[in-house]
Structure 1
């Protein structure tokens, strides 16, 4: 019996991956509180790697990426909306209680207007009845065009109003020029029709996966294309 107890004591004395993850996460939180967000992110990532089932570490990665995105440091730390959602989804899958915290966490504001976040609120593009609400709740971006990234954006609001934002990339004299055009829209099932002044109506639809597809305007997703070389 004494030998067995000795072996047990030695095993308990060894640092486990879970213990290491908790220590790394605590160190990351201290750095986060000090405003040292890149350093905090490194610790949170290390904690999640040490123990992939550590829900809080994944959550803290998502929240810290959200802060870095707010600060405009997107490309330096890959603080993309889809990356933040991926880490948040992992945290919620491991610990569903994380969702309640996420709903109140200002660090995650950059992903509120995504299809992925709306799924957490019970809205799904697979449900035809949710299409009108998703249109209004989500900001929609075109795929990237080389170094310009997304050059078109659609926002929908109450009163069946729609705004199309465009970056004009064929104006050599003013390559940063943008324009906004306001119009109206109608929804019937999955079908969406956009109408802009002086233009013929543009038919489109929302797919069950949450992608907008319009004739002439093309495809729109819930995250912009960023950091393209």
Structure 2
């Protein structure tokens, strides 16, 4: 084969490859719009098999998995969704801003790692999500914290002493931000915990996606155990 024919063949193959990628992406987005999630997954995966860095396919496969997750369908793990989003942003940074408003990700909006991928700081994430305790039974998380931007917080705790329906106790307080890994909280009266009859400042260790609060025998995360409740 002459050099000239090789060049023609080379560019023809590029054209065919690009067209195939475009066709799979188009098929995937059409399936996604029709809520045919399995076809959408298959189509975007075929694009990524030949073009792993394709921003469009990475982003929309993440969207598809998020919608399946909202239905409690089995998917390749939540971590895999974050990996797809990260790859999409790496190839096309404008996707990071889109995360703030894209309704396909509504089920992940209350997740620490999703908020982090959207560009928020740890301090911003603290007040953007609800922090849940463990779910030992059928009633969901036994307690939870919600931190507000004005420095206050609300703590809810299941009242297991009541019968049908289970009651919920509410306590309020304030918190003090120290740094990206530490803060302090103090409950107002009445308080769920006192030492020597007085409320005290409680130390909080804030690691990636987890709060460990002095006086509590469990940690708090973004997981509300929704699908198993």
* TM-score (normalised: structure 1): 0.72
Q: 1:167 Cα shift?
A: 5.5
Q: Find the partner of 2:185 among 178, 185, 193.
A: 193
Partner of 2:72: 74
Partner of 1:65: 65
- Please state whether the residue corresponding to 2:12 is helix, strand or coil: helix
* TM-score (normalised: structure 2): 0.72
Q: Is the 8 A contact 2:212 2:219 kept in 1?
A: yes
Q: Is the 8 A contact 2:99 2:118 kept in 1?
A: no
Q: Aligned equivalents of 2:92 and 2:218: distance in 1? A: 38
Partner of 2:210: 211
Larger helix share, 1 or 2: 1
Partner of 1:94: 91
Q: 1:101 Cα shift?
A: 2.8
Q: In 2 relative to 1, CA 83–7 (structure 1 residues): closer, same or farther, beyond 3 Å?
A: closer
Between the two proteins, the alignment pairs up a number of residues equal to 218
Q: In 2 relative to 1, CA 145–15 (structure 1 residues): closer, same or farther, beyond 3 Å?
A: farther
Q: Is the 8 A contact 2:141 2:225 kept in 1?
A: yes
Q: 1:60 Cα shift?
A: 0.3
Q: In 2 relative to 1, CA 206–87 (structure 1 residues): closer, same or farther, beyond 3 Å?
A: farther
Q: Is the 8 A contact 1:140 1:221 kept in 2?
A: yes
Q: Find the partner of 1:124 among 121, 140, 146.
A: 121
Q: Find the partner of 2:101 among 86, 99, 104.
A: 104
Q: Aligned equivalents of 2:81 and 2:47: distance in 1? A: 16
Partner of 2:82: 85
Q: In 2 relative to 1, CA 64–121 (structure 1 residues): closer, same or farther, beyond 3 Å?
A: closer
The structure whose Rg is larger is 2
Higher RCO, 1 or 2 (CA under 8 Å, sep at least 6)? 1
- Please state whether the residue corresponding to 1:213 is helix, strand or coil: strand
Partner of 2:129: 138
Kindly report the root-mean-square deviation, in angstroms, between the aligned alpha carbons of the 2 structures: 3.8
Q: Aligned equivalents of 1:186 and 1:41: distance in 2? A: 43
Q: Find the partner of 1:153 among 136, 144, 150.
A: 144
Uncovered stretches (5+) of structure 1, i.e. residues with no partner: none
Q: Aligned equivalents of 2:113 and 2:134: distance in 1? A: 17
Q: 1:59 Cα shift?
A: 0.4
